[in-house]
A and B are shown apart, each in its own frame.
Chain A
Amino acid sequence: MSPGLRRVWGLMYRHLALYRRSWPRLLELAYWPVLQMCIWGFTATFLAKRMGGSIATTAGAALLGGVLLWEVTLRSQMGMSISFLEEIWSRNLGHIFVSPLRPRELIAALIAMSFIRMAAGLLPAILLAWAFYAFNLFALGPVLVLFFANLMIMGWAVALGVVSLVLRHGAGAEPLAWGVLFGLAPFSAVFYPVSVLPGFLQPIALALPTAHVFEGMRGILLDGTVHWHHLAAAFGLNAVWMGGAVLLFMHQFQQARIRGALMNIGE
């Protein structure tokens, strides 16, 4: 293993080791996705019984698909932000930043941990949707991998923004790790098409990669069609969002080194 990969693994090992000793941490990973799936699963079942017919079934599928795919973005963002915050809470950041770990390796480790946290949290909810509500997310086909990739990248970009704000403003910015993505949910068209939004809000929605992914998901579920232009837009926008987030992180990291914030962050 190259020294760079080994440093990435070292930081991942630090977080994975926490799960070996703590079942509540493991439980917490799946708790919210499963809870969300229960609530929306029962809602979809209720609607299907009241409305009946294939329209209700398709609407229920769009609802459950939206819930599960939104969790991909949310868990990716929170998984990355919280892994960074763990270093602040344990007052370990000083040791991390005086080790030979490069900032890009830190980002790589945070992304890897985010993926593991997201997968561990979402898999039980996907199984629950299949077992109890007869919704098979994998029926979306191979394009699901592209949806997942876009939603994860969007989550990481937002997480890097949160981490940058924590580097800039310290502990005061920590609550953003839990709440910031919910502010983007109304514009992400998770449960309804972008066309439902007022005209002046639609450009905002179309600037978000998530809106294009959910439009793409509905395209498959409602029409059986893969809207490739939405996927292309999602990848293009993600390149801009992620590129911007990395630049912001690198800038704030350097500013933190100038201000001395790395010495007392969290206070």
Chain B
Amino acid sequence: MNAIQVRDLTKRYDRVLAVDAISFTAPAGATVGLLGGNGAGKTTTIAMLLGLLVPTAGSIEVLGHDMARDRFAALARMNFSSPYVSLPARLTVEQNLRVYGHLYNVAGIDHRIGELAGELDLTDLLDRPAGNLSAGQKTRVALAKALINRPELLLLDEPTASLDPDTGDWVRTWLERYRAESGCTILLASHNMAEVERLCTEVLMLKQGRVVDRGSPDDLLSRYGREDMEEVFLDIARNRRQAVPA
């Protein structure tokens, strides 16, 4: 079963074609990476998957729900985290989690907050205003918010951007473990090639709004004859080298 099914998804702003008839699926339990340079269409694609943006054409089915007709049923079963969308800075971490616990109709909200605080090492931060936290702490709080409703689908937009290597590695390890334990599907947009290589079971390479290649990290490395995903990324971004056909 697919957690995400996208067909001919297109987004046009006046004369700018941001996403150009892309199609892809994300099997349940997979971690799919959206990879591409700035302006490739990653954030626009995620915004359409979240119902924040109406597509110009094409269809999106999330967890069996058509996003054009039934987006709220899907939104209750998914969640989202991005370092570019903040949580209210003057609310404490606990208050923030409580707000989203209510918005997502989470049962046993106190227990869930305690559970997440324990798992994400937030217990000592619960009474602190969210705006007073370090980048790493904010990322952990954003993850706690994204997991408050035990989502079946998690959309992550550059989850380790601006984190130091140690904290970034901690987040990646945690995400790996969480996916293995929960079976949730993850769609990840990232500029961090090592992160994509480590976490993703499949990668979609986006360029100028189109999917120009796709495959598992091993498959892409093999077809481009490269040692790491960064080289594959540069090959595609700069048209340096063509892949061997799959």
Contacts and interface: CB of A to CB of B under 8 A. Distances in A.
The answer to whether A binds B is yes
A260 B54 CA distance: 8
Interface stretch (A11-19, A173-181, A194-202, A210-218): A11-19
Interface in B39-58: 43-44, 47, 50-54
Interface residues on B, range: 20 to 34
Interface stretch (A47-55, A90-98, A237-245): A90-98
A262 B51 CA distance: 10
A100 B44 CA distance: 20
Interface residues of A, number: 32
Interface in A1-50: 3, 6-7, 9-11, 13-14, 17-18, 21-22
Nearest to B53: A260
A94 B52 contact: yes
Contact of A100 (B89, B103, B145): B103
A6 B102 contact: yes
A257 B50 CA distance: 11
B91 A18 contact: yes
Contacts of B53: 257-258, 260, 262-263
A90 to B, nearest CB: 4
Interface in A251-267: 254, 257-260, 262-263
Nearest to A18: B90
A99 B103 contact: yes
B150 to A, nearest CB: 14
Given A21-B90, A91-B86, A92-B86, A10 B102 contact: yes
Interface in B200-241: none
Contacts, number: 96
A257 to B, nearest CB: 5
Interface string B101-123: 11111000000000000000000
A169 interface: no
Given A17-B91, A18-B91, A95-B87, A263 B52 contact: yes
B52 A3 contact: no
Contacts of A14: 88, 91, 95, 99
A10 B100 contact: yes
Interface in B62-91: 72, 75-76, 79-80, 82, 85-91
Interface of B: 13, 43-44, 47, 50-54, 72, 75-76, 79-80, 82, 85-92, 95, 98-105, 129, 145
Interface of A: 3, 6-7, 9-11, 13-14, 17-18, 21-22, 86, 90-92, 94-102, 254, 257-260, 262-263
Q: 4 closest Cβ contacts across the A-B interface?
A: A10-B102, A94-B85, A91-B86, A100-B76
